[in-house]
């Protein structure tokens, strides 16, 4: 026999006789039930029912001005579902049938004995407990059913269930979409109505599963669609069983693998060699590098300063057949103009004053490998001419020598200048421009690389955290929003320096807005902010940073502090940044000027 624990149940007693109310309450309380509430009128009973949830109501059928039948009607209308026991001194068939019709659990005649009251209360509470358990199980079952239906509908593969007669029982949204132009394929129709080889294979697999109760894995079937298109489907079939192992049919799963290899190749990447970024524009850069890298053609990398042109040159070298040979880098702006020729082409001993020994130039050092010329747009006209001749003939004359040297070098150049504009202005040779720009790889600025900023920031945090021996695990949401609101004129290089500074200043394990430089903290971007992964550009509560007019040198310090605190809604960290103070200095000055302000939520 099932054991029901009904002690602690809340009970309401409704009777206009005080002695009966108190007696019933005493009997039930001593039995372990409770709390037990009492009401002397219909109005009091309604008020208590509205305030509490009761497990049992015991009511006299005759109440002053109303009746227990009215109370039953009120309970039914209000949706209360607890059992009700009616008590009367004048039982009759008519009132009893009306009470039962309205949901009364039982009927007690006065005088009510203790044993009878406790017996009926126990039975009513046990039945109510059983009903509640049943309702709970029903709700859980319904919730599970809805959950499984949602999963069934949302799976991107096509799912079809088939009964023992090989008829379709259910199809998910993907299966319905695939067969939307096939009216013959519907619930109740044989699985073989799916046209072509696909329907035949599905029917054969389903029949085998029904007969042998085993799974069948991976057929690859071509399925011709209306209009001439062809899908390649991967089919799997398995027994469909209930929780207790009862066989209910077959489930067939079909996956479209028509474009599988292409999709795998196009799968979003976040790195290529030392390049980092998962944005669409960086996917294009990666594809260009892989396609161009294996050929010996000259490449011109363009882009703003700090976008990673040197990293692209490295990636091109490592993607080429020359990857095991030297990659020689030359920063054309870092070498004085009078030394650049010797640096590139080398010189013989005594070629000029100070040339006390023979020197191999960077081009010879790169023989068999790659020569990377950074900031090519800043070299002189004379150097442009010498470089053009080298690119055309693959030979050159070191300074002070009259015999040419032939080398096998691939040249990659980079510039942050608009060479086309320089050509039009006559400051850069057009023939050299086209020699260098056989293939152009333009690099996007950081502000155009949606989603990459936080990826790069986390990479730099990991690097500097390890280098500094300081464990930093992330960035606060406010700091993220500030980073993503900034325009980053220095691009990735500037972000790297900002993160390094933040790692040095970070006192805990999380970089906060206080660790960022003032130009970022106070920046208000006119252009749309970057859209990092997981951070919405519409988070106005964080991103709506105020802007302030320049400080009036005649304004007293205490008034300026108070004004900025009011403008920042009491945000002391932000106010300290704007005022140019440490937060501790701001607190000290607030104390000395007796300034008190409470942050606005």
What are the tens digits of pLDDT across the range 537-562?
333 333 344 455 555 556 788 888 88
| Contact in structure between 198 and 232 (CB atoms under 8 Å) | no
Residue 507 to residue 499: CA distance in whole angstroms? 14
Task: At 528, list the tokens.
Answer: 């749309």
**Given a cut of 80, is residue 41 above it in pLDDT?**
yes
Question: Which 3-state string (H, E, C) describes 246-296?
Answer: CEEEEEEEEEECCCHHHHHHCCCCCEECCEECCCHHHHHHHHHHHHHHCCC
Q: What is the pLDDT of residue 158?
A: 86
How many C-beta neighbours within 10 Å does residue 59 have?
27
**Given a cut of 70, is residue 437 above it in pLDDT?**
yes
Averaged pLDDT, 484-508: 90
pTM for this one? 0.49
Q: What is the pLDDT of residue 499?
A: 92
**321: nearest Cα among 302, 350, 297:** 297
**447: nearest Cα among 476, 501, 485:** 485
Distance of alpha carbon 473 from the chain centroid: 18
Question: Which 3-state string (H, E, C) describes 464-509?
Answer: HHHHHCCCCCEECHHHHHHHHHCCCCCHHHHHHHHHHHHHHHCCCC
Ordered structural domains, the chain, with CATH: 11-133 (3.40.50.2300), 155-261 (3.30.450.20), 271-440 (3.40.50.300), 447-543 (1.10.8.60), 546-601 (1.10.10.60)
CA angle, 78 as apex, 75 and 79 as ends, to 5°? Answer: 85
| Contact in structure between 27 and 114 (CB atoms under 8 Å) | yes
**Largest interatomic CA distance in the chain:** 134
Averaged pLDDT, 503-528: 77
pLDDT per residue as tens digits for the range 261-280:
444 444 578 889 999 998 88
3-state secondary structure of 161: strand
Alpha helices for 155-255 (secondary structure H): 173-178, 196-212
What sign does the dihedral 18-24-30-35 (CA atoms) show?
negative
CA angle, 162 as apex, 157 and 167 as ends, to 5°? Answer: 125
**514: nearest Cα among 530, 500, 502:** 502
**Given a cut of 80, is residue 328 above it in pLDDT?**
yes
pLDDT per residue as tens digits for the range 348-378:
665 555 556 777 888 889 999 999 999 998 8
């Amino acid at each position: 026999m099932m054991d029901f624990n009904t002690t602690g149940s809340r009970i309401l007693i409704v009777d206009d006789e005080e002695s009966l109310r108190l007696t019933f309450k005493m009997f039930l309380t001593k039995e372990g039930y409770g709390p037990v509430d009492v009401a002397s009128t219909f109005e009091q009973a309604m008020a208590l029912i509205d305030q509490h949830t009761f497990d049992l109501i015991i009511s006299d059928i005759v109440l002053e001005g109303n009746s227990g039948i009215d109370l039953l009607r009120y309970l039914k209308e209000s949706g209360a579902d607890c059992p009700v026991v009616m008590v009367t001194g004048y039982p009759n068939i008519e009132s009893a049938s009306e009470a039962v019709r309205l949901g009364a659990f039982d009927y007690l005649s006065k005088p009510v004995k203790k044993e009878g009251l406790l017996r009926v209360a126990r039975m009513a509470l046990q039945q109510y407990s059983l009903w509640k358990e049943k309702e709970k199980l029903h709700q859980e079952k319904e919730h599970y059913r809805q959950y499984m239906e949602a999963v069934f509908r949302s799976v991107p593969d096509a799912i079809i269930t088939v009964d023992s007669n090989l008829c379709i029982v259910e199809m998910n949204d993907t299966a319905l979409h695939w067969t939307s132009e096939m009216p013959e394929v519907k619930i109740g129709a044989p699985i073989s109505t799916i046209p072509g080889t696909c329907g035949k294979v599905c029917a054969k697999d389903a029949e085998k599963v029904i007969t042998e109760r085993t799974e069948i894995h991976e057929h690859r079937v071509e399925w011709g669609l209306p209009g001439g298109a062809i899908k390649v489907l991967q089919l799997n079939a398995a027994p469909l069983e209930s929780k207790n192992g009862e066989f209910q049919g077959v489930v067939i799963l079909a996956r479209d693998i028509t474009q599988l290899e292409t999709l795998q190749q196009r799968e979003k990447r976040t790195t290529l060699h030392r390049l980092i970024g998962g944005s669409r524009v960086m996917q294009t850069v990666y594809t260009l590098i892989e396609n161009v890298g294996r050929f010996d053609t000259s490449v011109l990398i363009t882009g703003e300063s700090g976008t990673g042109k040197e990293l692209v040159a490295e990636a091109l070298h490592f993607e080429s057949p020359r990857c095991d040979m030297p990659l020689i880098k030359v920063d054309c702006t870092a070498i004085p103009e009078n030394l650049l020729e010797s640096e590139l082409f080398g010189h013989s001993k005594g070629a000029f004053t100070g040339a006390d020994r023979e020197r191999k130039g960077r081009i010879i050092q790169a023989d068999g490998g790659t020569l990377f010329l950074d900031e090519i747009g800043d070299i002189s006209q004379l150097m442009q001419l010498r470089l053009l001749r080298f690119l055309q003939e693959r030979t050159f004359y070191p300074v002070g020598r009259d015999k040419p040297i032939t080398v096998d070098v691939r040249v990659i150049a980079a510039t942050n200048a608009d060479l086309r504009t320089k050509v039009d202005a006559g400051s850069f040779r057009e023939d050299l421009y086209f020699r260098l720009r056989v293939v152009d790889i333009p690099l996007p600025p950081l502000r155009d690389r949606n989603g990459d900023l936080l990826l790069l920031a986390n990479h730099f945090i990991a690097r500097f955290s390890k280098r500094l021996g300081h464990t930093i695990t992330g960035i606060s949401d406010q700091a993220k929003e500030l980073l993503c609101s900034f325009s980053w004129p220095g691009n990735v290089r500037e972000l790297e320096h900002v993160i390094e500074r933040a790692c040095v200043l970070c006192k805990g394990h999380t970089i906060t807005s206080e660790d960022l430089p003032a130009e970022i903290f106070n920046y208000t971007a006119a252009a749309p902010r970057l859209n990092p992964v997981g951070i919405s550009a519409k988070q106005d509560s964080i991103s709506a940073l105020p802007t302030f007019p320049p400080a009036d040198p005649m304004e007293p310090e205490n008034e300026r502090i108070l004004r900025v605190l009011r403008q920042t809604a009491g945000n002391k960290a932000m106010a300290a940044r704007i005022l140019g103070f440490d937060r501790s200095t701001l607190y000290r000055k607030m104390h000395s000027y007796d300034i008190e302000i409470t942050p606005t939520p």
